[in-house]
Chain A
Amino acid sequence: MIELPRLIINGIMTGSIYGLLAMGLTLQYGVCQVLNIAHGEYVMLGAMLTVTLSTAFGINPLLAVAIIGPLLFVIGFLLQITLFRTLKARAPSPPVFEGNALMVAFGLFYVINFVGQMRWGALTYSNTYLTDRVRFLGTSFGLNQIIACVIAVAIGVAMYLFLSRTRPGRAVRATAEDPATAGLMGVNTNMILALCFGLGTMLAGIGGIMISWRTPINTQIGFNNTVIALVVVVLGGLGSVPGSFIAGILIGIVSRLVSGLWEPLLIVPVYYAILMVLLLVRPAGLLGKR
């Protein structure tokens, strides 16, 4: 019975990346009210840019985090401060904004996906990195997987401390709960929204970089990651950052168990089965508030 612990540890490692993606999505939805259907496209950009950086410029795929992370932060920051901010100012009511933002995010999904296809074509790239195996518990794991998991958990903990302990982190929570009152407290809410959107795209990008270390990638990996992140976010409770991370790890474990013990094709149906049961039993999600 060495199989079960191996699958679970593998699941935790995969799930930590799902948690990272979901934290990004939940920041964008919970604070900016943008249900970012294009989220997975930033995962794709992170992954494909890593390939380009390492093949064209010889940049180490680990170091890519320090280049692509900030780049995607800036992209997200600018999207919020130009596009979504204007949409919000023009919308007659918050529900109308949410609907419009969802449609615009769909548009961004196609735009970024098309740009990706123009740049990288339909090829699948394999740019695996740190593929050495590390043996423990009588089985072995990829070094890339272990490092990705450590980075993801470190970012998860950092995000938690940022939101709970720091002055700007508290401003994020205040803005999520009541933007008008946060403004009255002296919070520059437009900046906070841009910060959250930027962090969201950055987390997606970093997730993409780490996916490229161990899986072959192409320009179509985005949508599947959006689907996973959506399930994880709803499971964790919309808007709950710690909930997203925990739910990410749970979904990771489920995915490994389903594919290892049953049938890989059933992974996504099982996600949705769990989601439906959870929504019936506990509609606010695992750590949701309402």
Chain B
Amino acid sequence: MLEVSNLNVFYGKSQALRDVSLKVGEGEIVALVGANGAGKTTLLNTISGLLRPASGSVEFLGKRIDRLAPYKITKLGICQIPEGRKLFTDMTVGDNLEMGAYSSVAWKRRKETLEQVYQVFPVLKERRKQSAKKLSGGEGQMVAIGRGLMSNPRLCMFDEPSYGLAPKLFSEVLEVIKRLREQGITIFLVEQNVRQTLEIADRTYVLGNGQIVLEGKGKDLLQDEQVKEAYLGL
């Protein structure tokens, strides 16, 4: 579904990603883990079109997308739920959700999609008139995920959903992610919280200093003591 090949990305002169290649197959939950500053968000922003790679390619459903503007990539069915939620704080919860359905196709279906989102997160229906500024961490993350789902994505990319959440709340988020996969949405999950992430991932890539240093089944990586010490800090 998503294929990243030999991607090189720079910020000015410093290289943030080095020859990164990875694949996400339809219906999978693929995780990307790595320490702070390893380049995880850079990779997501490049896939979403916010950054331009110096070389390499990104293909989605067989089509090159690495030169497209972000809004076109969203329209193709990729959503990114950004790190730190990035809600529109001068809007209500309901308006934030509607912003997620901004693309023309999603806009036409927004009422049905909204009902589906309220089914996943019933509390958002009660909060819909409330300002997005005054939400707890968990509710904020629900709005961010709900807003992403409003675009009817085929591939949903989560950037650090554990950010600011207690472990128990993060477990709930992971449950939601599993349910989304059951509904046919492919998941690319980028996390620092390694242990819980590897539990639900089908496959995992480890990113270190801008390079893919390791790839494997989530549970295998957890069992490998050397890996745990060297890359996962467990």
Contact = CB atoms under 8 A, between A and B. Distances in A.
Q: Interface size for chain B: under 10, 10 to 19, 20 to 34, or 35 or more residues?
A: 20 to 34
B82 A184 contact: yes
A183 B82 CA distance: 12
Interface string B72-104: 001100011010001011110001001110110
A259 interface: no
Given A92-B12, A173-B90, A186 B102 contact: yes
Interface stretch (A11-19, A35-43, A187-195): A187-195
Contacts of A190: 69
A7 interface: no
Interface string A168-198: 0011011001101111111111100000000
A167 B90 contact: no
A184 B90 contact: no
Contact of A171 (B48, B74, B102, B151): B102
Interface in A87-120: 92
A186 B75 contact: yes
Interface in B81-136: 82, 86, 88-91, 95, 98-100, 102-103, 106-107
Contacts of B49: 183
A148 B91 CA distance: 32
A185 B74 contact: yes
A53 B38 CA distance: 62
Interface of A: 92, 167, 170-171, 173-174, 177-178, 180-190, 289
Given A170-B98, A177-B90, 6 more contacts: A171-B99, A180-B82, A181-B88, A184-B80, A186-B151, A289-B90
28 contacts: A167-B102, A170-B91, A170-B95, A170-B98, A171-B99, A173-B88, A173-B91, A174-B91, A174-B99, A177-B88, A178-B86, A180-B50, A180-B70, A180-B86, A181-B88, A183-B48, A183-B70, A183-B74, A184-B50, A184-B70, A185-B99, A185-B151, A186-B74, A186-B103, A186-B106, A187-B102, A188-B71, A289-B90
Interface of B: 12, 45, 48-50, 69-71, 74-75, 79-80, 82, 86, 88-91, 95, 98-100, 102-103, 106-107, 147, 151
